[in-house]
Amino acid sequence: MTFKELGIAEPILRAVETEGYASPTPIQEKAIPILLKGKDLLGVAQTGTGKTAAFGIPILHHLYNAKKRTALHNGQGGKRRIKALVVTPTRELAIQIGESLTVYGKHTGLRNTVIFGGVKQGKQVTALKNGIDVLIATPGRLLDLMNQGFISFRDLDYVVLDEADQMLDMGFIHDIKKIIAKLPPKRQSLFFSATMPKDIVDLSRKLLGDFERVTIKPEQATAEKVEQGVYFVSKRNKPKLLVHLIRERSKESILVFSRTKHGANKIVKKLAQADIRAAAIHGNKSQTARQKALGDFKDGKLNVLIATDIAARGIDVEELSLVINFDLPNVPETYVHRIGRTGRAHASGIALSFCDKDERPYLRDIEKLIKQTVPRMPEHQFVDENEESETTNRENAQKPKNPNTTRNRNRNRNRNRNRNGKSNYRGGQHKNRNRDRKGGESQKKD
């Protein structure tokens, strides 16, 4: 199937083809026809499957056609009002969606703006006052500007809740419920989540009416498109192995995942000590610092970016060569999100993971989810003596016991005892035992 066969409006088709989109991804092929019919949609799909185009193209299609009809009957007059709302968990993801919608709609005359916290609201309020067709927002800033009276949903026709599971993880559930309560009853609603725990299912029921469901399985995306590997390495040797791998790929774009903000900062310092320039993006960094680091990474001025899972939502780099899990995530679905940063849409990619002895249970959970064994990488030079002895002990523990080996060990033990002057003559021991038994029996009789 091609985008032309989907029946989208000509200006949008032209923009999509200019971007090199030849055929739709699975989520786009399944979701776009449903949305073009005006039905609600529940999409279960990970990041990197082409979700933004899956909801963005049909919404722009509807808005463009409605705009044409209005212009035909009423002329071009009147202030633009918010017709579509996209709510997403992070600033980076909001900005990325805004950029994508601008590209898809560049020939339509439609206008969008992005609002998020962490910056002054002045420019965002000005954009809202000037009038927009599509609003992309993070929950906190959206509620704030709603409460101040700068945002009205009176003319809203389309609502997208994206990355709902991440909203839940980040504690936005109550904000989202407040936003849903303010939405007009007559609307087309789209709900996207990579996973569907009970709380997310309950939330989807609050937003959606009569909906259709589209599911893109994470294990399919993982198995088919991303070359994976895992290194077993101690916690203290992880920085050394990371430096080694980066030096081997000095001209490639590498995204490194840390489980914590503090850990991300620490990795940047360790790399700096090895004369490797890197930057970290996470929740404690200012919006300006995050955008500069991300911009430099996308433009190729920075080859190594360290990110936490939440901050990484919205990183969309076409030529991302390698993802490294410095820390294995304790939630297996997060692994799928992470490696989805490479191998996006139709591309392929490489994802390598570091696993210390405490993270082995996480690896087992990941392999269970993706229904395959992550290939073990060859031995590396950063192995502690303790690690080697642990490996040897594990191997010995797994070997079946040889009865001759046990017998020889007992003989050697007996020889050592004889050297110490202690008799190990087995017959004598048995005789003494027998005497004791007899003595005990005669005492009982007395």
From residue 244, give the alpha-carbon distance in Å to each of 241, 248, 271, 308, 381.
5, 6, 10, 22, 10
Structural domain spans, the chain: 3-216, 220-397
Q: What pLDDT does residue 420 have? A: 46
Give the integer Cα–Cα distance in Å for 167 and 247.
36
Give the integer Cα–Cα distance in Å for 359 and 361.
6
Give the integer Cα–Cα distance in Å for 12 and 167.
30
Give the integer Cα–Cα distance in Å for 40 and 209.
7
Q: What pLDDT does residue 79 have? A: 81
Q: Which of 30-39, 75-84, 119-128, 402-411 has the lowest mean pLDDT?
A: 402-411
Select the more confidently predicted residue: 409 or 446: 409
In which band, very low, low, confident or very high, does the pLDDT at 308 lie, cut at 50, 70 and 90? confident
**88: helix, strand or coil:** coil
Q: What pLDDT does residue 386 have? A: 56
CATH fold group of domain 220-397: Rossmann fold (3.40.50)
Q: For the segment 30-59, what is each residue's pLDDT rounded down to a tens digit?
A: 999 999 999 999 998 876 678 899 999 999
**220-397 shares the fold of 3-216:** yes
In which band, very low, low, confident or very high, does the pLDDT at 247 lie, cut at 50, 70 and 90? very high
Cα R_g (the chain), whole angstroms: 31
In which band, very low, low, confident or very high, does the pLDDT at 104 lie, cut at 50, 70 and 90? very high
**377: helix, strand or coil:** coil
Q: Are 141 and 124 in contact (CB under 8 A)?
A: yes
pLDDT > 70: percent of the chain: 78
Structure tokens at 96: 């990325």
Is the predicted pLDDT of residue 421 greater than 50, yes or no?
no
In which band, very low, low, confident or very high, does the pLDDT at 142 lie, cut at 50, 70 and 90? very high
Mean confidence (pLDDT) of the chain: 81
Select the more confidently predicted residue: 217 or 210: 210
**For 3-216, CATH number?**
3.40.50.300
Q: What pLDDT does residue 340 have? A: 74
